Amino acid sequence: MKTAQEYENSLRSMSFKVFVQGELVKNPVDHPIIRPSMNSVKMTYALAEDPQYEDLMTVPSSLTGERINRFCHIHQSTEDLINKVKMQRLLGQKTASCFQRCVGMDAINTLESVTFEMDAQLGTDYHQRFRRFLQRMQQEDWTVDGAMTDTKGDRSLSPSEQADPDLYLRVVEKRKDGIVVRGAKAHQTGALNSHWVLVMPTIAMKKEDADYAVSFYCPADAEGILYVYGRQSCDTRKLEGSSIDVGNSQFGGHEALLVFDNVFIPWENVYMCGEYAFSSLLVERFAGYHRQSYGGCKVGVGDVLIGAAALAAEYNGVSRASHIKDKLIEMIHLNETLFSCGIACSAQGAPTESGTYLIDMLLANVCKQNVTRFPYEIARLAEDIAGGLMVTMPSEKDLRHPQIGPYIEKYLRGVSNVPTENRLRILRLIENLTLGTAAVGYRTESMHGAGSPQAQRIMIARQADLEQKKELARCIAGICPASGID
C-alpha cells in the first residue's frame, strides 16, 4: 500500500492538462484551490497506515491475500459492505468534505460482477481483462476516478439522436489494437487526484446507441484528456491565505469537466464495446453501490456539522435552552437515520453470480432518497443555531488589523471565557459546510450525486414489488383463497 506521502509524490509525476478559471495550471498538486481536495484523498492513505483503523481501512485482497486499502477491495460479504459504510463515515469525520475515492471503489465492484455475467452470456473475455487491471490497482494502491455522467445535451433525446453526437462519450473508431473515444464526462469528483479513469455508460442504451455502450480505463493524464475545474462557492477565499475565512482550510473536494478528445484505448483496457443490452445492469448496480455510499460519507460530515452547531450554541451562551437541545437532537436523529439506511442496505446484501456482494437495491435507493432531504434540514438547523453572525462577520484581515482588530475582539465575543477567534472559526466552519466550498460535497451533492431524487424514486418503484404487497393485503382481508390459518 502507498503511504500518504507516496500518494502525493505519485501525483507530482503525472502530467495533467487542467484549466482553472481560464488558466492552464502547471502544478495542480500545490494549487491553493485544488490542494485541499488532494489532502482529503491523502487522508484515505494516511488512515490506512494507522493501526487504530486497520480493520476499517485495510482488508485482505480476494485476489492475492495481501493486505490492501479497502478502496481497492471487491466486497466478499455483508461485513465488507457494512465496513465500507463505517469507513466512509470515519473519513467524513476526519475531513468534513468529500474524500473522492468512493466513486472508483463503487465502479470496480460494479464491473467485477457485470463483466462476469457478460462473459457468461456472450463468450467475451472482459472479466479476465478487468481482473488483471484490478490486481494492478490493488498492488499499486491506485486512486481511480469512476466516470459515468455524460453531459447529456437534450435529455428528451437518446445518445444517438443528439444534434451533436459527442454529447455522450462514444467510440469513434475501432482499430486492430484498440478503440478511439470522444466526448466528455461531467461533475467528475476527484478526477485530478486520480491515477486512472474508469469510464462507464451513463444510461440504458438501445441498439442504435451501441457506439455509446462503452467501458474502459485509461491513465488520468492520457494524451487527449483535458480537465476544466469546476467553480465552487467562496472558492477564491483559498487564494487569500486565511485559515479562518475558508472555514475548512485543510480539506475539500472538487469536480471537473473531463474531456476526451480522440483518446486511444488499447483493447486490453476495454470492458464493454457495443454490448448495449448490459448498459442498464451496469448503471443500476453502480448507482446502487454509490447510493449506499452516501449513508456513510454524508453522515461523517454531518457529525462534524452537528458538533460545530453544538459548539456555536456554547459559544453563544444558549446551549442550555430547551429549543437548542431539541434542534441538536433532531440533527442527530436525522443523521443516524441516514447511517441506519446505509447499514441496512449493506446487511441485506447478497452475492452476485461472480461472488461479489451487492447491496439491497431497494434499501440503497431509500438511503439516497433520504440523503436528498435530511442534510438540507440538518444544515438549516445548524444555520438557525449559529445565528446571523455566520454570514455577516468581518474577515480574518480585520481581526488581525492593529486598529480595528481590538473592536472585533471586544464586540464579537460571545461567552466571556471563549476567545473571539474560536467563535469566529466555528461559525466559518458552519458557513463552509452549509454555504461554501464544502457545501458542494455535503448539501448540493446530497441532492444530485449518484443520481437525482427522481432516479431513486424510479428504482424504488421497480424494486418495491407492489403486487406482492397487494397480495398480502388480499390475504389478510380474506379475499385470497386461503388465509394460511387453520
Q: Could you report the per-residue pLDDT of 259-271, keeping only the tens digit for each?
A: 999 999 999 999 9
Does 445 qualify as catalytic in the annotation?
Answer: yes
Q: Is residue 485 scored above 70 in pLDDT?
A: no
pTM of the model: 0.96
Nearest to 307 by CA among 6, 94, 483, 469: 94
The number of angstroms, rounded, from the C-alpha of 209 to the middle of its chain's C-alpha atoms is: 28
Render pLDDT for 165-186 as a digit per residue (tens, 0 to 9): 999 999 999 999 999 999 999 9
The single-letter code of the amino acid at 137 is M
Q: 355: which DSSP letter? A: S
Checking phi first, is residue 56 left (phi over 0); if not, alpha (psi -120 to 50) or beta? Answer: alpha
Does 54 qualify as catalytic in the annotation?
Answer: no
Domains and CATH numbers, the chain: 4-77+100-277 (2.40.110.10), 282-469 (1.20.140.10)
Which DSSP helix (H) or strand (E) runs through 4? Answer: helix 4-12
Spatial CB neighbours of 223, under 8 Å, sequence gap ≥ 6: 263, 264
Q: Which of 102, 218, 341, 367 is catalytic?
A: 102
Q: Which of 72, 115, 168, 255 is catalytic?
A: 255
State the pLDDT confidence band at 481, using cuts at 50, 70 and 90. Answer: low
- How far is 286 from 215, CA to CA, in rounded Å? 13
- How far is 447 from 373, CA to CA, in rounded Å? 8
Cα–Cα–Cα angle for 40, 216, 128, rounded to 5 degrees:
105
Measured CA distances, 430 to 195, 246, 302, 456 (Å): 32, 11, 11, 29
Does 98 qualify as catalytic in the annotation?
Answer: yes
* pLDDT for res 71: 98
Q: Match 453526437 to its residue by C-alpha cell.
A: 165
Does 255 qualify as catalytic in the annotation?
Answer: yes
Q: Which of 45, 271, 294, 357 is catalytic?
A: 294
Q: Is residue 193 scored above 90 in pLDDT?
A: yes
- How far is 252 from 96, CA to CA, in rounded Å? 8
Does 411 qualify as catalytic in the annotation?
Answer: no
* pLDDT for res 439: 80
Q: Which of 115, 149, 151, 189 is catalytic?
A: 189
**Segments of 2-76 assigned E as strands:** 18-20, 23-25, 58-60, 67-69
Q: Match 429549543 to its residue by C-alpha cell.
A: 323
Q: Is residue 486 scored above 60 in pLDDT?
A: no
Q: Which of 8, 112, 431, 445 is catalytic?
A: 445
Q: Is residue 484 scored above 70 in pLDDT?
A: no
- How far is 376 from 330, CA to CA, in rounded Å? 12
Spatial CB neighbours of 178, under 8 Å, sequence gap ≥ 6: 264, 265, 266, 267, 269, 270
* pLDDT for res 68: 98
Q: Is 314 exposed, middle or buried (0-12, 13-18, 19+ CB in 10 A)?
A: middle
Cβ(122)–Cβ(167) below 8 Å: no
Q: 394: which DSSP letter? A: P
Does 294 qualify as catalytic in the annotation?
Answer: yes
Q: Which of 72, 273, 297, 345 is catalytic?
A: 297
Render pLDDT for 47-96 as a digit per residue (tens, 0 to 9): 999 999 999 999 999 999 999 999 999 999 999 999 999 999 999 999 99
- How far is 424 from 466, CA to CA, in rounded Å? 52
Does 323 qualify as catalytic in the annotation?
Answer: no
Spatial CB neighbours of 251, under 8 Å, sequence gap ≥ 6: 36, 37, 39, 40, 43, 95, 96, 97
SS3 call for 436? coil
Q: Match 461472480 to its residue by C-alpha cell.
A: 354
Does 290 qualify as catalytic in the annotation?
Answer: yes
Q: Which of 31, 73, 187, 290 is catalytic?
A: 290
Q: Which of 73, 78, 98, 110 is catalytic?
A: 98
Indicate the average pLDDT of the chain: 97
